[in-house]
Structure 1
Amino acid sequence: MKTITAPAHLCILVLLLVCCQQLSYAQTRGSKTEVGFAERIDNVPDSNKYIALHPSVPIGTVLKVHNTENNVSVFVRVIGQLPKVSSDPKLIVRLSPTVFEGLKVSPGRRRISVELSYVENTP
């Protein structure tokens, strides 16, 4: 069996085309960005998952969470609504302890500055 390898420049070109196509899709589907604070969720039953609570994004949405303090990003799934009991309007999301670890947050910290990105699910 003969192995065919593509030149590196061709692979890079294909990768760029795919990325541009995905970016174009995100722009036409309503890409959204939010900036504010994230807090850690305590007492998460299945703490090894990357999960989040958000006040308005539909359950099941995947968010890109960017830690603006150290430029580390992870992807999380929204599993529920963020209760509106907080008096802080800058609190935009609550994240599982595993997400805080993935974002390289110091173990004692419960709140960080983040930027959220996601594609709004519109018809």
Structure 2
Amino acid sequence: MKKSRVKKRKIQNKSNFFLCTAFLIEFGYVLYLLLIAKFEIPSIFWIALWLVPVVGSSVIYILSRRSVAKRDDLPEKFKEQYKDGDDRSTYLSYFLVVLNLAFYPFLHSTPIIFLWYFILILALIPWHNNEKI
């Protein structure tokens, strides 16, 4: 069982890394707008940079759950929680992507960007952590 806990921790670390990267990209974008707004970089570039880590974190999470569910050396009772588990990170990434794209025009004129920081900070908290890893 100890190996599975280590594996879960590695998976969670990867997800946290990608969400932190998304947070830093948005933070860099705001600094860019505040300090060096003279140079015009297309907004699609920043959207693409933000989409890669958020969607990537959900894909890694889903693939890791499926690989644990396919292992033969684990008991069936243990594998069932990975087969039937909900993919909360996928829903979170879709939610963040839709909100970011929907409110993107307001980022230049209002402080709505802080809403994205709040959501990403909430995403970093391991809400599903029922047992200590």
Calculate the TM-score normalised by the size of structure 1. Answer: 0.24
Calculate the TM-score normalised by the size of structure 2. Answer: 0.23
Which protein has the bigger strand share? Answer: 1
Which protein has the bigger helix share? Answer: 2
